Amino acid sequence: MKTKTKRNIRSLSLEDLRLFFTENKDQAFRGDQVYQWLWKKGIHNFKGMTNLSKSTRSLLETNFVINHFDIFHQQKSNDGTIKNVLKLYDNLVVESVLIPTENRTTACVSSQVGCSLDCKFCATAQIRRMRNLNADEIFDQVVAMDQQSRLYFDRPLSNIVFMGMGEPLMNYKNMINAIDKITQGAGLGMSPSRITVSTSGIPKMIKKMADDQVGFGLAVSLHSARQNIREKLMPFAEKFPLNDLADAIKYWFDKTAKAVTYEYVVWKGINDDDDDINSLVDFCKISPCKVNLIEYNPIGNDQFIQAEKDRIKAYEIALQDHRITVTLRRSRGKDIDAACGQLANKSERTQVVLP
């Protein structure tokens, strides 16, 4: 006799849950109760749904599963940063990072197992994309890091950045679904203004976000405002030229009135001359923006070396002279390969599936 395949209950909407109960001769509000357990309280087993009868919990056990990950390995940096290696329900692995500062704690979440893109300077890009993360897997990263923030730093999670493994705009539906659960009152109730989605620059999807009137912030991993240089750093950029990206960013601001943040690493002999600086200044004039000059985090590729301090300072001065907000960002968690671009840098690169 064929065994019935159980559905992941968190793939159901609230309306789906209500319908399930009415179809099983129960009341629709049971769906609301279950929804609250799943998304507000973040519970991972049916037995813990204590306001449901045993027969109702048994009905759920018969029809559904609650997929969730195990924290397979955890490392803590000298600066307090915590890296989590997460074993998913199907034995695939992703990483997430909790970044503490004096006044806040930020969850850096992943959106894919591996990555869809091919940035040469990023360790995650060296792993092929194995699959997109489901909305509940993204949500669970936030719940886990909120718990860690309360445990280790005595305060709730304050911010979320989609800057972990994967390109979030290549997993748009699940990303948006997860953010809805994180921000809605029936979920975690976090303000969307505390969330930033970082993309390598997919123009069509940036425009879609603008049309969808999302409440979160946008960051673009730019690294060069010269098309030929950007293609060498990020070969996929050949399909998404800077002109199209510029149009999308203009569209984003016109629709949302939100300034974009450009993430920018300066490498020696690659994007550190005056033409590179002037091109970035010109690109920044497209719409209101700010620039984060980010410290480079090595991944074992000798082609990429942090630029000299005087060249980074030249970027800073030029941007300030044109009244463009610029911040120098120091990396956190470098000693445990948890900094930007380092996720899956060492053993996890080859150990993507755990026994």
Side-chain half-sphere CA neighbours of 198 within 13 A: 19
Tell which residue, 223, 253, 252, 216, has the closest CA to residue 117.
223
Q: At what angle do helices 135-153 and 172-183 cross, to 10 degrees?
A: 40
The bridge status of strand 82-87 relative to strand 7-8 is unpaired
How many other CB atoms are found less than 10 A from the CB of residue 297? 23
CA angle 182/108/40 to nearest 5° reads 20
Cβ neighbours of residue 268 under 8 Å, at least 6 residues apart?
305, 306, 307, 308, 311
CA distance 272 to 200: 20
CA distance 104 to 75: 20
What is the phi/psi pair of residue 73, to 5°?
-155, 145
User: What pLDDT, on the 0 to 100 scale, is given for residue 349?
Assistant: 38
Question: Which DSSP letter does residue 295 get?
Answer: -
The number of helix segments (H) and strand segments (E) in the chain equals: 11, 14
User: What pLDDT, on the 0 to 100 scale, is given for residue 348?
Assistant: 41
In tens digits, what is the pLDDT along the chain, a chain of 355 residues? 456 789 999 999 999 999 999 999 999 999 999 999 999 999 999 999 999 999 999 999 999 999 999 998 998 888 889 999 999 999 999 999 999 998 999 999 999 998 888 787 887 767 778 999 999 999 999 999 999 999 999 999 999 999 999 999 999 999 999 999 999 998 999 999 999 999 999 999 999 999 999 999 999 999 999 999 999 999 999 999 999 999 999 999 999 999 999 999 999 999 999 999 999 999 999 999 999 999 887 766 678 889 999 999 999 999 999 999 999 987 664 554 444 544 454 544 333 343 3
Reported residue count of the chain is 355
User: What pLDDT, on the 0 to 100 scale, is given for residue 52?
Assistant: 96
Render the burial of 7-26: b for 16+ CB within 10 Å, e for the rest: eebbebebeebbebbeeeeb
122, 263, 340, 348: which is the annotated catalytic residue? 340
- Tokens found for residue 276: 């590179």
Give me the domains of the chain, ranges plus CATH numbers: 7-65 (1.10.150.530), 70-350 (3.20.20.70)
Q: For residues 191 and 160, is the Cβ–Cβ distance under 8 A?
A: no
**Residue 340 is among the residues annotated as catalytic for this protein:** yes
Side-chain half-sphere CA neighbours of 203 within 13 A: 15
What is the phi/psi pair of residue 102, to 5°?
-60, -40
Q: Is 29 exposed, middle or buried (0-12, 13-18, 19+ CB in 10 A)?
A: exposed
- Tokens found for residue 118: 């091919």
